[in-house]
Amino acid sequence: MIGSWGAVAFLAGCDPILEVDGAFFPAWLICMIAAGFMLGGIRWVIFRLGMEQFIGPRVTVYFCVYLTCTLGLWLGFFRL
Amino acid sequence: MTSETPTPAPAPAVARSPVKAPISTPNRLRKIFGRLFGISAVLSALVLSFLTWWELDIRPRTDDAYLRANIVGIAANVSGYITELAVVDNQKVAIGDLLFRVDPRPYQAELDVALANLAYVDLEIQALKDAITQREADIVNAEAVALYNMQYLARIEPLLPKQFVTPDQIDAAKRNVRTADASVLQSKAALAQAVANLGQIGNVNVRRARAQAMVVENQLNVGYCEVRSSVNGYVTNFNISVGQYASTGVEVFALVDTSSWYLLANYQETDIRVIQPGMDVEVYLMAYPRVHFHGVVQGIGWALYDPNQGSNGVLPTVSPTLDWVRLAQRFPVRIVMDPSDDQNPYRMGATATAIVLSNRTREVPDILKPLMPDALEQWLGTLATPPAPMPESPGR
């Protein structure tokens, strides 16, 4: 999440469409996939730190983490 | 049995009680950070959702955009066999460059006929002028005869009472006077006819003008045999060979006019309310990743074909539909592109993404103002401000 906010603050200006072997993928799709991996990493860290039982309603919190990662990546890399 | 005494509850049961169990320091830290993490995750998601909505609202974007240029269909203005091709497919041409040549010989022959006709008309005009001179001489001649006849009649008429002349001679003299007058009138009419036949109106001789126009027309036709480029651009779809018959007005290939490139970006009708002519546009072409191009909104399309509206005969046809989810229509927004450079040439039909840098600023809703400090409000204001033009944009 800190990375996402950092991306919002410091990065900008990538193409809004990414090419993978001749096919063009919208940036938001790439962000969603990357955010899925980020969510996996964050959850692993939270679990290893033993904090998972204290974070509140897990589905809501992890969904919010996922949303933060997705939107943070998109705003950071593709907001001009 | 009596020796049995109640034993205290096992220690683990006490330890499991959440109320009385003392929380160790690491667990307390975990709880604090865990709560903080959960709350900050929810807050981040809310704030970033708001920022994303904000961003999309002030800088509408679309992936449904295509680069366009004007196409000039090349057709011969005269019919004939193509005898020479001066260009090849995809070649760059400038205004006035020869593209191909139609067999000029029939048109050259017609031009020769017209030139000969012009020379003949000049001779004809000279002959007609001579005829006018002749008619003028005829008038002088007829007038002289008429004058003599009048004088003769005047001389012999006084001799009739003394019977030196007969009445018949007097009548013959009178007839001669009238015949001579008629002859003068006839000669004048013949002169007028000859003048009209010359065709001179003021300074213009219509016979010569007509012949001259035919020469010009045939000169044009000979000139049309050389088909030249009317634009700066590229040859495209060039699939003809020497010997093909070019018919008048039938296009044989096309030129891409590279003097004006524009983007047709199909924006949803919900986006076009913030788009205005003159706004800067950030353009990305799929062909050139990591290169930013620049354009300016020229206008927004005013009309679309509506496939749901029609008529059959005199009655309207309406297809019965039950659309719960409606898709937004898209209107083409015409964006005039900056000229391309040699490293990144434009190609018609290239896929593009357009982001209109709307200069719209959005006020923070009143309901949120008490919740956010002034500094955050100012920062949001900077988000709504378009960035400075990028110097690496080609053609600027």
Residue-wise pLDDT for B37-87, tens only, equals: 999 999 999 999 988 888 888 888 888 999 999 999 999 999 999 999 999
Q: Is residue A7 part of a domain?
A: no
Q: What is the pLDDT of residues B4-35, one digit of tens each?
A: 444 444 444 444 444 445 556 678 888 888 88
Token look-up 């480029």 returns B229
Query: Rounded to a whole number, what is the distance in Å from the CA of A52 to chain B's nearest CA?
Result: 7
Residue with tokens 């139609």: B102
Residue B276 pLDDT exceeds 50? yes
Decide if pLDDT at B1 tops 50.
Answer: no
Give the mean pLDDT of B373-393: 58
Q: State whether residue B289 is helix, strand or coil.
A: coil
User: What torsion do the CA atoms of B251, B256, B259, B260 make, to the nearest 10 degrees?
Assistant: 100
CB contact under 8 A, B35 and A49: no
Average pLDDT over every residue of B161-180 = 93
- pLDDT < 70 regions, chain A: 1-15, 80
Contact residues on chain B for A68, CB-CB shorter than 8 A: 41, 44-45, 48
Among A31-45, B112-126, B150-164, B351-365, whose mean pLDDT is lowest? B351-365
Strand pairing partners for B236?
A: B254
pLDDT band, residue B330 (cuts 50/70/90): very high
pLDDT of B126 > 50? The answer is yes
A56: contact with B, CB 8 A cutoff: yes
B28 inside 8 A of chain A by CB? no
Choose between B2 and B63: higher pLDDT.
Answer: B63
Query: B66: Cβ–Cβ under 8 A, 6 or more apart, which residues?
Result: B263, B264, B349, B350, B351, B352
Question: Which pLDDT score, from 0 to 100, does residue B308 have?
Answer: 76
Summarize chain A as % helix, strand, coil (round to 5). Answer: 70, 10, 20
- Note whether residue A3 is domain-resident: no
Per-residue pLDDT for B128 more than 90? yes
Confidence (pLDDT) at A13: 54
Q: Which domain holds residue A47?
A: 16-79
Residue A46 lies in a domain: yes
Task: Provide the token pair at B210.
Answer: 């007509």
Whether A4 is in a domain gets the answer no
Cα separation, B50 vs B104, whole angstroms: 71
3-class SS of residue B367: helix
Asked if A60 reaches chain B (Cβ–Cβ under 8 Å), the answer is yes
Task: Give the pLDDT band (50/70/90) at residue B96.
Answer: very high
With CA atoms as reference, report the closest residue to B239 among B250, B226, B253, B251: B253
Work out whether strand B61-75 and strand B92-93 pair parallel, antiparallel, or are unpaired.
unpaired
**A13 contacts B38? CB cut-off 8 A:** no
Band of pLDDT at residue B184, cut at 50, 70 and 90: very high
Which pLDDT score is estimated for A65? Answer: 93
Nearest neighbour of A15 by CB, restricted to B40, B45, B290: B290
Q: How far is A15 from chain B (nearest CA, A)?
A: 6
Which amino acid does the sequence have at B162?
K
Please choose, from the candidates B137, B228, B218, B132, the residue with its C-alpha nearest in 3D space to the C-alpha of residue B184.
B137
Please name the residue of chain B whose CA is at the shortest distance from the CA of residue A62. B41
In chain A, how many domains are there?
1
| Cα–Cα distance, B157 to B171 (Å, whole number) | 10
- Cα–Cα nearest to B388, from A4, A9, A12: A12
Q: What is the DSSP letter of B325?
A: S
Contacts of B62 in chain A (CB under 8 A): none
How high is the pLDDT of residue A58?
87
Strand partners, A19: A24
- Chain-centre distance of CA B338, in angstroms? 18
Q: A37 vs chain B: nearest CA distance in angstroms?
A: 16
Is residue A67 situated within a structural domain? yes
Whether A72 is covered by a domain: the verdict is: yes
Among residues B235, B263, B232, B184, which one has the least CA distance to residue B74?
B235
Please provide the average confidence, as pLDDT, over all residues in chain B: 85
Interchain CB contact of B31 with A (< 8 Å): yes
Q: Chain A within 8 Å of B387 (Cβ-Cβ)? A: yes
Chain A contact for B48 (CB, 8 A cutoff): yes
Contact at 8 Å (CB) between A69 and A39?
yes
**What integer is the mean pLDDT of B223-231?**
94
State percent of chain B over pLDDT 70: 85
Residue B156: band (very low, low, confident or very high) from pLDDT cuts 50, 70, 90: very high
> Could you tell me if B327 and B36 are in contact, meaning their C-beta atoms sit under 8 angstroms apart?
no
| Highest-scoring range by mean pLDDT, A9-18, A19-28, B274-283, B382-391 | B274-283
Q: At what angle do helices B25-58 and A58-78 cross, to 10 degrees?
A: 50
Chain A residues with CB under 8 Å of B379 CB are none
Alpha-carbon distance A15 to A78, whole Å?
A: 6
Distance CA B229, CA B258 (A): 12
Query: Within an 8 Å CB–CB cutoff, is residue A19 touching chain B?
Result: yes
Alpha carbon distance B233, B295 (integer Å): 20
Does A57 fall in a domain? yes
Are residues B55 and A79, on separate chains, in Cβ contact within 8 Å? yes
Chosen for mutation from A4, A5, A17, A31 (greatest number of chain B CBs closer than 10 Å) is A17
Q: Which residues pair with B235 in a beta bridge?
A: B255
Query: Could you read off the pLDDT of B291-329 as tens digits, one per residue?
Result: 889 999 999 999 988 877 788 888 888 877 777 888 888
Residue A5 located in a structural domain: no
CA–CA distance from A56 to each of A64, A66, B25, B36, B207 (Å)? Answer: 12, 15, 20, 10, 104
Q: What is the mean pLDDT of residues B260-268?
A: 93
